[in-house]
Structure 1
Amino acid sequence: MSLPRHNYDPRRVCINPFPNISLGKHRRTVGIYLAGGLFALANWTFLDAAILSAHAHPPFDDPQLPPPVHVTFVDWIPGICSLLGMIIVNLIDKDRVRGEDGMGDAAAVWRARLVLFIGFALMAGGLAGSVTVLILKYIIHHYQEQYTYYGYANVSQNVALMLSAIVLWISQSSGGEYEYSLSI
């Protein structure tokens, strides 16, 4: 498939441009609040699991046995990777990644895209790590549902952090509320 010559831009990396989502007058504000809500939900979910793990009681049928599993530092690592990836992704100047607005230096555009890739790779690695921890630590050992919740909370934290980063990226890429288009 080839693009018509009038739509061709040699600076473009992908055939499809960045999404242009219109949510009305306050689209940027709505996106930023939605991303913040997802971020809060992500961390709240995992902190809930960590607090439940710290205050876990032995099973009622045998009070001499301690709880079989707790949230440890291994459970925190995927969330830390996703959080670092989210910070890296949202620190990048969007115009630099596109190569627009006089930032046509090919090396700067390449570096910005590399850093963006590293940020998304950290988030994907965090998600993959949380799924791995869920399977290897919680599912294989067939723990009760109250203990497998710790692993599910870890995975949901990483999914929500990734969605939060994507929503924030898209909302910050859209035009601002106070932009004016003047033409003579």
Structure 2
Amino acid sequence: MESNRLFRKFPTPAWMNNANVRTAGVYMSGALFSLGFFLFLDAAVYSHSAKNGSDIHITFVDWIPLICSTLGMLVINSIEKTRLNADSFSYSGNGVAWKARLVLFLGFALIAGGLAGSVCVLVLNYVVVEASVQTMWMGIANVLGNALVMLSCVVLWVSQNMEDDYTYNLAL
């Protein structure tokens, strides 16, 4: 086993080191991301329709967790796996690994904060006031949307950082 792998106990299966699997992972990540946003946008449109039948509507506070999750996804997927290794000095000198780990931690904190925030919005705005099931769907869609964005982030990071022995990265 190589000494520069991130996951030492769980090596990547051989069938995953394929360009087609990598491309399918990127497409699956996009599908999960768009499904998460669709669920939340559907709930936002439904909240302001006449069929809602309640005084509870989606406001900017409901959007904040999804914005945090999306920003966290952008931060996490801007980090390459090779930058997390301590022996990677080729990029910009000393201290690249701890900077990359710090930025990766901040990205995960944004995503976790987004998911926790959506659960808090669900509990405070919908469960505590004992909203009807149709109205509570708006809070559940917020949580599901954030969870799908989080899952999309994981799928995209793993699929982008797969190692392929037959792929060459050329940089000028």
With normalisation by structure 2, the TM-score equals 0.84
- 2:65/2:146 contact within 8 Å kept: yes
- 1:95/1:103 contact within 8 Å kept: no
Distance in 1 between residues matched to 2:82 and 2:153, nearest whole Å: 17
Change (3 A) 1:58 1:124: closer
1:113 maps to 2:106: no
After superposition, the C-alpha distances for 1:146-172 in whole angstroms (9 at most, x for unaligned) are 100000000001100000000001001
- 1:28/1:176 contact within 8 Å kept: no
Distance in 2 between residues matched to 1:165 and 1:56, nearest whole Å: 35
2:31 to 15, 28, 37: 37
Distance in 2 between residues matched to 1:178 and 1:37, nearest whole Å: 27
- 2:69/2:150 contact within 8 Å kept: yes
1:56 maps to 2:55: no
**Equivalence map 1:99-178=2 (5 Å):** 99=86, 102-103=89-90, 105-176=93-164
Change (3 A) 1:17 1:169: farther
Aligned residues: 165
CA shift, 1:92, in A, is 1.2
After superposition, the C-alpha distances for 1:21-68 in whole angstroms (9 at most, x for unaligned) are 433641100110110010010000000000001213464xxxxxxx22
- Residue 139 of structure 2 aligns to a residue in which SS? helix
With normalisation by structure 1, the TM-score equals 0.79
Match of 2:72 in 1: 85
Match of 1:23 in 2: 16
Q: Tell me the percent identity.
A: 45
Unaligned runs of 5+ in 1: 1-6, 60-66
Comparing 21-30 with 118-127, greater Cα deviation is found at 21-30
